[in-house]
Amino acid sequence: MRARRAGWLAEQFPDLAEMSVIDLGGRVSSWAGAPVRPKHVHVVNLERESGDVPSWAEVDHGDACDLPEAIRGRRYDLVYSNSVIEHVGGHERRLRLAEAVHALADSHWVQTPYRYFPIEPHWVAPGMQFLPAAARTTMAHRWPLVHSRADDRAGALESVLWVELLDRTQMRYYFPDSTLRAERFAGLTKSLIAVRAA
């Protein structure tokens, strides 16, 4: 799926190799292995990047919903954000992320897992996103397919509360001038991508 998504990105932005891209919430390692790498990638993430930063990249520790002025005042060819908007913490912060996306470049690519895909993607659990928080917490703590299991119930609840999957209406609200592309698996929409090409 990631390889296909990378292909779509390169098709949508045929000049990607010559572009300046800001990646909100991403990692340099994701771009290092990409089939087409932009000329310059500026990664902004709340989690600190470990290891050396290649010459084609720039890394800042920061909040994509509250960017420092030094970043807000810059312009890029493309804003890219992959599976981040569902983790930022509520409607107000999603609005602020969307505002940053619109302000930093005329073009963007913002992907998020689709709320109504039957498998919750973070825990690979059927229907988990539709359960009450207490039941989701129990699943997050005990479900065998989880990527990284919390040590205790409090940690599981913390993980659960930081995930709010979005639907089409929400994505259209945050990105009204974008094309909304559906990424499908077995005929069902698995994720949504808001795309705008200048």
Q: Write the DSSP assignment of 133-154 as a string of letters.
A: HHHHHHHHHH-TT-SS--SSHH
| Residue 149: band (very low, low, confident or very high) from pLDDT cuts 50, 70, 90 | confident
What is the model's pLDDT at position 146? 80
Q: How far is CA 128 from CA 116, 121, 131, 158, in A?
A: 11, 9, 6, 15
Instruction: Please write the tens of the pLDDT for every residue from 28-78.
Output: 999 998 999 999 999 999 998 878 899 999 999 999 999 999 999 999 999
Spatial distance between the Cα atoms of 79 and 21, rounded to a whole number of angstroms: 6
Q: Which of the 8 DSSP states describes residue 166?
A: B
Mean pLDDT of 8-22: 96
Q: 175 or 198: whose pLDDT is higher?
A: 175
Q: What CATH number should be reported for the domain whose range is 2-116+164-196? A: 3.40.50.150
Quick check: 75 and 59 in contact, CB under 8 A?
no
Residue 2, pLDDT > 80, answer no
**Confidence (pLDDT) at 51:** 81
Is residue 94 scored above 90 in pLDDT? yes
* Distance of alpha carbon 22 from alpha carbon 174, whole angstroms: 18
CA proximity to 110, closest of 75, 72, 76, 82: 82
The DSSP 8-state label assigned to residue 51 in this structure reads S
Rg of the chain taking only CA atoms, in angstroms: 17
How many Å separate Cα 127 from the centre of its chain? 21
For the chain, where do the domains classified as CATH 3.40.50.150 start and end? 2-116+164-196
Which residues have a Cβ under 8 Å from the Cβ of 37 and sit 6 or more positions away?
17, 31, 56
User: Is the pLDDT at 88 greater than 90, yes or no?
Assistant: yes
Q: Are 79 and 24 in contact (CB under 8 A)?
A: yes
Place of tokens 């207490």: 134
**According to DSSP H, which parts of the chain are helical?**
2-12, 28-32, 69-72, 91-104, 133-142, 153-161, 168-174
